[in-house]
Structure 1
Amino acid sequence: MRKIILNLTVSLDGYIEGPNGEYDWCFTDQDYGMSEFLAQTDAVFCGRKSYELLIEAGDEILAEKNKYVFSSSLNKVYDGWILVKDVQGETIQSILAKPGKNIWLFGGSQLTDHFIKLGLLDEMIISIHPLLLGDGTPLFRKMKERLFMKLVDAKIYDSGLAQLTYRIP
């Protein structure tokens, strides 16, 4: 069965964006395993803010992927994207039931929290950048309960980036 895998970068103090929504701190000097990861996926799930970021940056890397944006505030999306207004387990389960590769959950923090709450997240690949932002948007906002995970892979790059892969039992 397909897996939903969160793959995001965070600062060492746990922020996915700076206090003004900036991402200029994310390393872009190498691939960091992203090409290999993308080859194992055929769909991407994201929230409204992540969707807007992808559109602004250019979503060419997702050209061959099924692209879903989960939003209650958007009324339409660009061609090639599917708007999902109902962020309930049944909608997501129907997408998961279709044959295909894994699904990349590309945030944001609210959607990530929701997927965890619904028990739909299978793995997390967290790339920790060696810097402290001090403020911004935390990766996890509204976690009410503990979530135990199993570390299944760890990579350390020369840049100081640590990439940790966790499986959620």
Structure 2
Amino acid sequence: MTAYRFYTATTLDGFIADEHDSLDWLLSQPEPSGGILDYDRFIAGIGAVVLGYTTYQWVLDHPEAQGDGPSSWPYEQPTFVFTHRELDPAASNIRLLSGAPEAYRERLEAAADGRDVWIVGGGDLATQFADAGMVDEIDVSIAPVTLGAGRPLFKGRYDLELEEFGRSGAFLEARYRVAGRRQ
């Protein structure tokens, strides 16, 4: 069964980007390896990738952060960008979507072909997916840095159940199951 996973990193004070949408705070950290949220293990189970426009544009503007060539799209999986903008997709596996995530559930799961859907970000999009009942797990690496302001990790009010935790380099790692909406 396809699971929807919000796999991301955050600062200790709960921001995934600063107020200028920069991830310099993350890129300046020693790169973690192994751990419970090992990227290679994670990505092997991903069948489709979902992102919002701001995250999509950041990936395009910062290819050096992906470790690939300067013009390559880093995801081989079918990729869906939720946006209201008219864009020319950067790769042939990218599709543009507009509207509520639940309207595309069947399409996303068909594209994932029995594997999981990765909600790359941002926090607003992850919250929209959660509001639609489409976030099963939140996998978060917590960096030893604070920003004081920026783009929050998550905007919704949800109860989470800690499934697993660990450490990878300087990062604290936690895997949560989404238990339900908090009243």
| TM-score normalized by the length of structure 2 | 0.81
Tell whether 2:93 aligns with 1:93.
Answer: no
Q: Deviations over 1:85-104 (max 9, x none)?
A: 13341312332245231111
Is residue 76–residue 83 contact of structure 1 (8 Å, CA) maintained in 2? no
Tell whether 2:125 aligns with 1:115.
Answer: no
Number of aligned pairs? Answer: 164
Structure 2 SS opposite 1:25: helix
Q: Which residue of 2 aligns with 1:130?
A: 144
Gaps in structure 2 of 5+ consecutive residues: 64-71
Q: Which residue of 2 aligns with 1:40?
A: 45
Q: Identity rate of aligned residues, in percent?
A: 24
CA distance in 1, matches of 2:30, 2:86: 30
Q: Which residue of 2 aligns with 1:162?
A: 172
Gaps in structure 1 of 5+ consecutive residues: none
Q: 1:131 to 1:122 in 2, by over 3 A?
A: same
Q: Which residue of 1 aligns with 2:32?
A: 30
Q: Which residue of 2 aligns with 1:70?
A: 82
User: Over aligned residues, Cα RMSD in angstroms?
Assistant: 1.8
Q: 1:70 to 1:28 in 2, by over 3 A?
A: farther
* Residue identity matched to 1:67: T
Q: Which residue of 2 aligns with 1:8?
A: 8
CA distance in 1, matches of 2:161, 2:106: 24
1:153, distance to aligned residue in structure 2 (A): 1.2
Q: Which residue of 2 aligns with 1:102?
A: 116
| TM-score normalized by the length of structure 1 | 0.88
1:57, distance to aligned residue in structure 2 (A): 2.6
Q: 1:45 to 1:18 in 2, by over 3 A?
A: same
